[in-house]
Amino acid sequence: MIPTIDDQKLRRDGQNVVRIEAEAVASLAERIDGHFVAACRLMLGCAGRVVVTGMGKSGHIGGKIAATLASTGTPAFFVHPGEASHGDLGMITPKDVVLALSNSGETAELLTILPLIKRLGAALVAMTGNPGSTLARQANAHIDTGVREEACTLGLAPTSSTTAALVMGDALAVALLEARGFTREAFALSHPGGSLGRRLLLRVSDIMHSGDTIPAVAESARVRDAILQITAKKLGMTAVVDAETRVLGIFTDGDLRRLIERGGDIHATPISQVMTAGGTLIEADRLAAEALHLMEDRRINALLVVDADKRLIGALNMHDLLRAGIL
């Protein structure tokens, strides 16, 4: 039967965990020392990949570190040490750097493959909470992630120690990112399906309407002709162009409503009298995210896309940006 525990105790227990783990993370700053630099140098000089390995909770943290390294310019992958001794060791080459995680530094599965890693000639970086451990002593570089206490009240479940390892892994990834000059654009290339990737990779030309799907009328047209274009092309507006398809202006469904409210004659009124002259234009090679910023800044819902001579080549609205995942 679960004992009765009041709300205040639950709150205090949660706060205590956060305090202990925060102190553990804060203490890591002084460990960003020569050993940390040596580990970074090994990874920067690596001609292969960083192979991250660890058992249990350390393995879960190692998987995340490998993913963070890989997405920030340092090719990396995770290998389970138990599987490594049954064939997966073949994934490691002499050009690689092995990053091994173990709070104790004495994890049996890691120590089993340690001689084989050494025989291969791969460099070894250890991340442990015990600088005197076997793993730490055998490593080419050792990063100390030891903590004063686990946040678990039993002192058994890895809590502070795994948090410390995770933060140190992030410190490595970001230091390497900076050293490599890794850019936002490079990050986007490895995250094409993510929001940032879409924002940094998608161009206006990728999502704009083109050809016969562009709503456009001649400057000699009447408002009724513009209504037909707005209705048929379903973008909530139409461009007004000259004989060379240069943009003269834009007419939106908002302009139409205002005209009707004033009692305007949609059959007789020339479009040139009620259009917004010039309109808001954008080039096809601009980022779709820039189109979004322009729409938000001007408080409009559609843009006309033009070439260098202001000739109409496309159109897009807020719904296109929404479908593309830019919003």
Q: What's 28's domain CATH number? A: 3.40.50.10490
Same domain, 232 and 106: no
Instruction: Give dist(CA 69, CA 248) in Å, integer.
Output: 51
Same domain, 174 and 237: no
Residue 32 within any structural domain of the chain: yes
- State the pTM of this model: 0.64
Q: What is the pLDDT of residue 208?
A: 93
Same domain, 51 and 98: yes
Same domain, 178 and 130: yes
pLDDT along the chain (327 residues), means of 10: 79 93 94 95 94 95 95 90 74 93 95 91 96 96 94 84 96 92 62 56 88 94 94 93 94 91 91 91 89 90 93 93 79
Q: What is the pLDDT of residue 158?
A: 87
Q: What is the pLDDT of residue 196?
A: 56
Same domain, 147 and 13: yes
Count of domains for the chain = 2
Residue 317 within any structural domain of the chain: yes
**271 close to 223: Cβ distance less than 8 angstroms:** yes
Tokens representing 28 are: 């890591």
Domain end among 182, 216, 241: 182
Q: Identify the CA nearest to 65 among candidates 152, 148, 150, 143.
A: 143
Same domain, 151 and 280: no
Same domain, 100 and 218: no
Residues of the domain holding 293: 204-323
314 exposure class (CB count in 10 Å sphere: 0-12, 13-18, 19+): buried
Same domain, 212 and 168: no
Q: Which residues contact 126 (CB under 8 A, 6 or more apart)?
A: 99, 100, 102, 105, 133, 135, 136, 138, 139, 141, 142, 143
Instruction: Give dist(CA 279, CA 269) in Å, integer.
Output: 19
Same domain, 30 and 155: yes
Q: What is the pLDDT of residue 323?
A: 85
